[in-house]
Amino acid sequence: MKVGVIQLNTKWDKKENLDTIKKYVEEAAAEKAELVSLPEYCNFMGEEKDKNKNAEEIPNGETTQELMKLAKQHEMYIHVGSILEKKDEEKSYNTSLMIDPKGELVAKYQKIHLFDIEIQGVSKYMESNTIENGQKPQMVELPFGKAGLSICYDLRFPELYRGYALDGADILFIPAAFTRYTGMLHWEPLLRARAIENQCYVIAAGQFGTNVPGKACYGNSMVIDPWGTVVSRASEGVGITYANLDKKLIESARESIPSLKNRKPEYYDSLQ
């Protein structure tokens, strides 16, 4: 399966953001990609006070409707890294979608782990001020195999991905708006670890550059194979990078090093 991973610099202007997405989806269709993956918060990034105003109903909101049309027009899967989904007057969900080539919404995942962190002298984020966390994992069946959905900060919680792998995932989607500072330190090693330990493809579309004044994202969107090799990586800026997923690499990784089969959970499941 050929996938296109779109790296964006999403800002507050939704129309401009959607136009950029359309341009890259069209390019991916011309390149015969079967699936494109978009980053977290692909249609809007702005000040905290504007987030809820830009949240939409799913599937009836403008962004979902537009992307459903686009998927149908180009007969491809669109993995919508995330958009703000309306919850109530106070809060939204940070929600990932999978749209199939008929233009139908086939999976929806709400970010479970919210980015509430403070690095002294560097940055502070309190995603839970504006976002309500999701409460369940979500897998989706693709022609290539099963995929597990997640978003950004979820990457730091390996138990979610192990659960997906044990439930038969071949692909882990990890769209993000990873910060530049934490990205330089942790993005690639964590992504490669998730791919290696679960012997899955990892597809990680990221935001790049400054989206909101004073806050910058790391970019480095990538596809990693089940051996942990980075097979495709976006360069600096906005753009698209492609990779061909090969089922044989999943089989060879799992046959050569059967670590998923060699687990002994009976000895450590009691640890908390």
Ligand X SMILES: NC(=O)CC(=O)C(=O)O
Q: What residues act catalytically?
A: 40, 111, 152
Residue whose token pair is 């995330």 = 82
Give the integer Cα–Cα distance in Å for 181 and 123.
9
Of 125 and 227, nearer to ligand X (C-beta) is 125
Pick between residue 177 and residue 243 the one whose CB is nearest to ligand X. 177
* Bridging pattern class, strands 123-126 and 116-119: antiparallel
CA 134, 142, 144, 245 dihedral sign is: negative
Interacting residues with ligand X (CB under 6 A): 115, 152-153, 156, 177-179, 182
Of residues 77 and 178, the one with the C-beta less far from ligand X:
178
The CA-CA-CA angle for residues 257, 253, 260, to 5°, reads 55
Smallest gap from residue 133 Cβ to ligand X (A): 12
Of the pair 68, 177, the CB lying nearest ligand X is at 177
Q: How far is the CB of 221 from ligand X (least distance, A)?
A: 14
Measured from each CB, the residue nearest to ligand X is: 182
Supply 140's token pair.
Answer: 């989706």
Helix, strand, coil percentages in the chain from 3-state DSSP, rounded to 5: 30, 30, 35
158-203-31 Cα angle (round to 5): 175
Q: To the nearest whole angstrom, how small is the minimum distance from the Cβ of residue 2 to ligand X?
A: 28
258-261: list long-range contacts, CB under 8 Å, 24+ apart: 259/197, 259/199, 260/165, 260/166, 260/198, 260/199
Measured from the CB of residue 83, what is the shortest distance to ligand X in angstroms? Answer: 15
**Positive/negative CA dihedral, 174, 179, 218, 13:** positive
Residue labelled with tokens 């919850």: 87
In Å, what is the CA distance from 147 to each residue of 31, 89, 158, 200? 23, 32, 15, 9
Rounded least distance, CB 187 to ligand X, Å? 8
Residue among 17 and 182 whose Cβ is closer to ligand X? 182
